[in-house]
A and B are shown apart, each in its own frame.
Chain A
Amino acid sequence: MFSKKILTYLILLIIPFLNITKVYSIEPDIFVQSTVNRASEALNNKFSKEEKILKLKAIAKETVDITGIGFYTLGSYRKNITDDQKKEYENLFEQYFLKTFSSRLAEYSNPEIEVTSKEKLNKNYTMVSSTLVSTDQRPEVKVDWRIYTKNPDNPLIRDLIIEGLSLVRTQKEEFSSIIQSNDGDINALFSTLRDFIK
């Protein structure tokens, strides 16, 4: 009894000196499959649409590089904005992204995605290929994931390429079109984003 107490005490003393927070690198394909499984669980029909959206937003915040995507979609305009504008944009884009991301996915119920392969592009990126299994309503869809692996312990999604069509590139061109139609005024994009996320 006594020795058990001592052992427990010793363990409690030692714990702060142990590097128990060490995280092992996660393979991008396993990361994608686990993210997809979490999203599938969130889309289970036992949850209401509002609950699904909340769960999906939480998953996106953890697994998607929202800030990186935001600055990518600004294209060359990101070079000419002030630090205050950057902060404002970061905030607006995050709200916009989470709203559209969750809204897009919340319509689906139990989507079945199978990860098929991965290809390391360079130290920063790995492309993971997967297939959205066909149903009666739609054919099989090929989905590729651009995974940002600069920190291998914390891989992040930077793009989804559906049947060869990049969602982030589409977003970038949409934003560029809004800015261009307003004589290059980036504030017009901010204002459109504000209206959209209301």
Chain B
Amino acid sequence: MKKIIITSLISLMIASSVSSDTDGKVEDCFEGLNRATFSLNQGLDKTIFKPVAKAYRVLPSSVRSGTSNVLVNLSSLITIPNNILQGDFKKAGVNTGRFVVNTTVGILGIFDVAKKMDFPKYEKEDYGQTFGAWGIGPGCYVVLPVLGPSTVRDTFGSFVNVLGGDPYYNASTHGNNEYLTDSLYMKTKVVSGIDFRAKNLESIENLEKNSMDFYASVRSLYLQDRQQKISNSNPTIEIMYEGDWEELETQ
């Protein structure tokens, strides 16, 4: 089954990697299906995720920040190999140091001791970003059930995590130890989703309330975010679209 999914994704990625405009705009090749999935996700969000995120927000802020720190610390296990794959060995070293300090002194990452020690700001990296950095195009925009917005390339990148690219997943499923299990890995992913939703309760609600086409707004924000993360750009320098603005001057 895994092989079928991988083969399908690779074919889809190759087929749709030509689906970006010359100006870098990502095509929404499956818009009808995507909008339907988006509606399904909105339904799930209203009935499950949002209420759970609201309940999570009731927890003391120290508990929430501790949980968030643990999740960020675990994400280093995906970030570090991607730093290496992108040739950024310095960041890989810094992130390894951060992981070691936070896991030991910071008690499994609950406390961000590295931040207090003035480590540089942490930036997550994933396999989708690495593929992007290698020059692989995003392919078509897709909306995944439950997981939300993505592109064909980023979806494939997520699959790499469960194909050996995430040491935490490997240790949980094949680690043969009594502490880490499949179900713990799944729980971590669920908590990670709830943590994200809880942090963005107001902003998502605000965006939805003030959008005439919420689907299009979310698509735009997701693609801008990925573009910025892949280029590792300083937003003030890169997200300017000078051409568009200058064209406006001449009209």
Contact = CB atoms under 8 A, between A and B. Distances in A.
A166 B225 contact: no
Interface residues of B, number: 34
Interface string B215-228: 11101110011001
Interface string A129-158: 100000011110010101000100000001
Contact of B236 (A103, A129, A173, A196): A129
A187 B249 CA distance: 25
| Most chain A beta-carbon neighbours within 10 Å: one of B209, B224, B225 | B224
A192 B219 contact: no
Interface residues of A, number: 42
B21 interface: no
A72 B211 CA distance: 17
B235 A142 contact: yes
Interface stretch (A19-27, A32-40, A53-61, A118-126): A118-126
A146 B240 contact: yes
Interface string A68-87: 10011001001100000000
Given A103-B209, A107-B202, A178 B236 contact: no
A104 interface: yes
A164 B123 CA distance: 14
A111 B245 CA distance: 29
Nearest to A145: B236
Given A173-B219, A177-B213, A144 B248 contact: no
Contacts of A193: 212
Contact of B248 (A72, A146, A170): A72
A127 interface: yes
A169 B228 CA distance: 14
B206 interface: yes
25 contacts: A72-B244, A79-B251, A104-B210, A119-B237, A124-B245, A124-B246, A124-B249, A127-B236, A129-B236, A136-B61, A138-B199, A138-B202, A163-B235, A165-B224, A165-B228, A166-B224, A166-B241, A169-B241, A173-B217, A174-B211, A174-B212, A174-B220, A181-B213, A193-B212, A196-B212
Give 10 closest A-B pairs by Cβ, nearest first.
A164-B235, A177-B216, A173-B220, A100-B210, A164-B228, A170-B220, A174-B216, A136-B61, A127-B236, A144-B236
Interface of B: 57, 61, 199, 202, 206, 209-213, 215-217, 219-221, 224-225, 228, 233, 235-242, 244-246, 248-249, 251
